[in-house]
């Protein structure tokens, strides 16, 4: 029987992202596959094993949502493996949108800045990733809202918003503000961690994250009546802009952004998305995922699952008809594990 459906695998890579999305089309009796991020450099063997186990030796598209190591590192390593064919690549190349000389002048003015170091690292990673794709002869496209990545639609960022974010690379006050926000967050976290975590139910209305996180590629796809949303590390303004341009409410499934950080989502957006299922790739610390974030998704009726819970688990979901899998067990929603969690739990199927 020809399959006609969509399946999503969230690979367990801790506080990193690595998602494989495959669509089956009955009319052509075929399938296509998109890899969204590759985790850290150290995660590449886990990704290779997964692809081999699923019989995937060709990726129709590879997406680097943004240039932080926990999204791009594994992709750089995967590109060294020529046994895996890659048809096309999608990533932002900030060097095309900013004056590098001005960026360097700005970064020199903020000596000791953590954000300045992050910007330098991202620019270097962009060059390395672009060179790696070029060495394989793989065409690279910048993904902006309104374009497609195979069967996925890019819903954010727009080109205009992306360039607004990158303008902060040449704004010393913006860079200092990001550093100050990060310092305040660390102080807040240190104090908050002494509180009873089980009572952590409050989320800020206007949390702040970095311009690099807000530049993350946001993707969506509809299978039948089921809407899927991939958020990467996007923050509140990025998700709001996407929601204003696209019908993203009432998701069947969505990725909780930035490993469940409380700095990337607010109650209004969670209510708007109101997903039936909300998944997060996280290590399982107090910060990732934040219990307040998990509880807020639960309050809108979402079944929340994490790659760390109750043990490290690759998670799988699907809509329509896709090939069956052996050895996959039902996922256990966050904070609902019982004695069953002590049993082998090789993979998710929810």
Cβ atoms < 10 Å from Cβ of 187? 10
pLDDT score recorded for residue 131 = 98
Strand partners, 4: 321
Task: Give 179-243 as a DSSP string.
Answer: HHHHHHHHHHHHHHTTS-GGG-----SS----HHHHT--EEEEEETTEEEEE-TT--HHHHHHHH
Each residue of 293-310: pLDDT tens digit? Answer: 999 999 999 999 999 999
Look up residue 135 and give its two tokens: 């060495």
Length of the chain measured in residues:
350
Domain ranges of the chain: 4-342
Mapping DSSP to helix (H, G, I), strand (E, B) and coil, where does residue 57 land?
coil
Residue 319 backbone dihedrals phi, psi, to 5 degrees: -130, 150
Q: Could you tell me the pLDDT band of residue 187, with boundaries at 50, 70 and 90?
A: low
- Listed in sequence order, the residues at least 6 apart from 193 whose beta carbon sits closer than 8 Å to its beta carbon are 286
Terminal CA-CA length for the chain: 23
Q: How confident is the model at residue 337 (pLDDT cuts 50, 70, 90)?
A: confident
- The confidence score (pLDDT) of residue 181 equals 80
Q: Mind listing the pLDDT tens digit for each residue in 69-86?
A: 999 999 999 999 999 999
Confidence of residue 184 (pLDDT cuts 50, 70, 90): low
**H-run or E-run covering 334:** none
- CA distance linking residue 2 with residue 28, whole number of Å: 9
Alpha helices in 289-333 (DSSP H): 291-299
| Confidence band, pLDDT 50/70/90 cuts, at residue 202 | confident
Question: Helices marked H in 56-99 — which ranges?
Answer: 69-78
Q: What is the pLDDT of residue 171?
A: 93
**Average pLDDT in the chain:** 92
Structure tokens at 182: 């990060």
Q: With pLDDT > 70 as the criterion, what percentage of the chain qualifies?
A: 91
Query: Does the pLDDT value for residue 316 go beyond 70?
Result: yes
Q: Is 152 helix (H, G, I), strand (E, B) or coil?
A: strand
Quick one: which of 36, 99, 113 has its CA closest to 71? 36
In sequence order, the 6+-apart residues with CB closer than 8 A to the CB of 276 are 251, 252, 253, 301, 302, 303
Cβ–Cβ under 8 Å, residues 269 and 300: no
Mean pLDDT over 317-325 rounds to: 96
List the single range of 190-204, 209-223, 260-274, 306-320 with lowest mean pLDDT. 190-204
Exposure string of 195-217, with b = 16+ CB inside 10 Å and e = fewer, is eeeeebeebeeebbbbbbbbbbb
- For residue 198, name the pLDDT band (cuts at 50, 70, 90): very low
pLDDT of residue 345: 39
pLDDT band at 186 (very low <50, low <70, confident <90, very high): low
pTM for the model stands at 0.93
| H/E stretch holding 124 | helix 114-135
Fold of 4-342: Metallo-beta-lactamase; Chain A (3.60.15)
pLDDT band with cut points at 50, 70 and 90 for residue 200:
low
Answer whether 333's CB lies under 8 Å from 16's CB: no
pLDDT digits (tens, 9 = 90+) for 26-41: 999 999 999 999 999 9
């Amino acid at each position: 029987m020809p399959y006609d459906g969509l399946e999503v695998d969230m690979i367990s890579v801790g506080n990193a992202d690595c998602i494989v999305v495959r669509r089956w089309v009955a009319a052509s009796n075929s399938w296509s596959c998109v890899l969204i991020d590759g985790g850290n450099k150290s995660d590449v063997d886990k990704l290779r094993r997964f692809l081999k186990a699923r019989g995937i030796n060709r990726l129709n598209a590879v997406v680097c949502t943004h240039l932080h190591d926990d999204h791009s590192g594994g992709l750089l390593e995967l590109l060294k493996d020529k046994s895996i064919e890659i048809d096309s690549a999608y990533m932002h190349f900030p060097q095309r949108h900013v004056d590098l000389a001005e960026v360097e002048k700005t970064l020199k003015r903020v000596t000791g800045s953590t954000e300045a170091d992050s910007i330098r690292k991202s620019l270097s990673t962009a060059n390395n990733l672009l060179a790696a794709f070029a060495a394989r002869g793989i065409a690279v496209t910048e993904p902006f809202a309104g374009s497609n990545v195979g069967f996925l639609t890019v819903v954010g960022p727009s080109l205009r918003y992306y360039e607004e974010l990158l303008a902060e690379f040449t704004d010393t006050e913006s860079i200092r503000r990001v550093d100050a926000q990060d310092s305040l967050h660390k102080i807040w976290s240190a104090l908050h961690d002494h509180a009873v975590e089980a009572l952590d139910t409050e989320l800020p209305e206007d949390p702040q994250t970095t311009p690099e996180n807000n530049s993350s590629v946001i993707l969506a796809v509809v299978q039948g009546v089921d809407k899927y949303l991939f958020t990467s590390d996007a923050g509140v303004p990025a998700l709001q802009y996407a929601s204003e341009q696209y019908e993203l409410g009432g998701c069947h499934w969505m990725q909780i952004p930035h490993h469940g950080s409380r700095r990337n989502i607010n109650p209004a957006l969670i209510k708007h998305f109101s997903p039936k299922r909300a998944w997060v790739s996280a290590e399982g610390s107090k910060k990732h995922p934040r219990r307040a974030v998990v509880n807020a998704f639960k309050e809108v009726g979402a079944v929340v699952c994490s790659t760390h819970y109750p043990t490290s688990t690759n998670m799988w979901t699907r809509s329509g008809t896709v090939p069956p899998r052996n050895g996959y067990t039902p996922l256990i929603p966050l904070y609902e594990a019982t004695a069953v969690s002590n049993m082998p739990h090789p993979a998710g199927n929810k």
